[in-house]
Amino acid sequence: MRWIESKCKWCLCLTLVLVSFIFMLKYAPTPYGFMLLVLFIILIVLTLRSKSTKNKALIYNASIFILALFLAETYFAGWYGNIFLNKDNNNRICKTKNISTCSKGKYNIRDEIRGYSANPGSSIASKLINFKDEIIYDVVYNIDNHGLRATPDNDNPAAKTALFFGGSFTFGAGVNDNETVPYAFQKNSQSRYKAYNFGFHGYGPHQMLRIINAGLIEDVLIEKKPTVAIYQAILEHIERSSGGYPYCLWDINGPKYILNDNSEIEYSGKFINQIFFQRIFTQLNKSYLMRKILKFLYKRNRDDINLFVAIIEKSRDLLLKNFGTDFIVVLWHDEDFGEDFDYVLSELKKNMIKVITTDDIFGKNKGTISKHQIHQCEKHPSSEANKNIALYLLDYLKKNN
């Protein structure tokens, strides 16, 4: 009976620990820090209770290892700002929460062409608040029947067609429909253009290429031919097109392209295509220490950059071949881009791709993301920045066509 009673106690304790770990993963600001602390305390108690010298030494050494992991986790988490929450530092100030509600249930849905897309025909109310419950933005995203962000109607039968590709910068995260680049472009063109917004959160050039390859443009435009296509790029798109961290967390079903032995772009299916692995990666990503490890394992290299440039080049070539479309890249600059920015810019120009940098638009050293973001805690471009980009593009096209 004592043996059964002892086993029941251990099972109960183990259940309580597992339940507490699940609770921490969901609600704790630094879940792995708290979990490691609990595990360290348990091991210390077991060390003190153990009667075997050999087991005592083994458990004690394990507790030291767990303590080391705990210290590393809390160090990378920002110590007091994230664990004890008694410092009003910038990291804590910019600890934000997004509250979104979709008129059709799920906001993101699986899409066999793009990997995922906005729910067609839906309306999404999106609010971003900081830890003080101060509103950073409160906007609505309206999605058309093709899963594209809404742009104005245009009744002009002679209107030219403009396609916009990219991620959340193109989609217009944090701004209303009438404040995105495609919307401002069409509105300020005086009905000379009809704009289509193919951008979405987390997209990269691989989604653009797959949209072109799979015939989605023809499905959306029907019999129209696009006059111009504009891809708005940031350097983080390099990791997206190569399936690097942290984009492997959500783009597992995204289209994967590789450079074959002849240095030609080749479609090779999906990145992972397993929801199980996505869930594991998502939970592991809650560890600040694991984020450092994953960033090291998925560190950007020249092969990733060359793939990024090659995907853009292939997109340009297909648009020109299929529709005779003019193609322009808008490349965002930032303070910490360093030599990668210079290399990408030189490679794009070397491949005869038309490139406009944000320094061209806003002035030298004034085109950085930080100078045009919505808020200090929200790096997406403001409505004013989007309008200026749209006006510059219209002026550029007028002068060069």
The SS3 of residue 364 is: coil
Distance of CA 76 to the CA centre of its chain: 21
Question: How far is it, in rounded angstroms, from Cα 31 to Cα 87?
Answer: 18
CB neighbours (10 Å) of residue 391? 15
Please give the pLDDT value at position 162: 97
Whether the Cβ atoms of residue 291 and residue 285 lie closer than 8 Å to each other:
yes
Beta-carbon contacts of 205 under 8 Å, excluding residues fewer than 6 positions away, are: 165, 231, 233, 237, 240, 241, 308, 311, 312, 315
Please give the pLDDT value at position 131: 77
Whether the Cβ atoms of residue 103 and residue 70 lie closer than 8 Å to each other:
no
What does the radius of gyration of the chain's CA atoms come to, in whole angstroms?
25
Please give the pLDDT value at position 349: 96
What are the backbone dihedrals phi and psi of residue 287, each rounded to the nearest 5 degrees, phi first?
Answer: -90, 125
Q: Which helix (H) or strand (E) holds 210?
A: helix 205-214
DSSP class of residue 376? T
Closest of 339, 8, 381, 328 to residue 167, by C-alpha? 381
Question: How far is it, in rounded angstroms, from Cα 336 to Cα 189?
Answer: 34
Q: What is the largest CA-CA distance in the chain?
A: 90
Please give the pLDDT value at position 45: 85
Beta-carbon contacts of 145 under 8 Å, excluding residues fewer than 6 positions away, are: 120, 121
Question: How far is it, in rounded angstroms, from Cα 358 to Cα 360?
Answer: 5
Please give the pLDDT value at position 54: 82
Please give the pLDDT value at position 192: 95
The SS3 of residue 259 is: strand
Residues of the chain where predicted confidence (pLDDT) is lower than 70: 1-29, 79-93, 248, 273-278, 367
Please state the pTM of the whole predicted model.
Answer: 0.84
DSSP class of residue 247? G
Instruction: Report the side by side order of strands in the sheet with 123-129.
Output: 97-102, 123-129, 135-142
The SS3 of residue 324 is: coil
Please give the pLDDT value at position 7: 56
Q: Left (φ > 0), alpha (ψ -120 to 50) or beta: where does 393 sit?
A: alpha
Please give the pLDDT value at position 88: 47
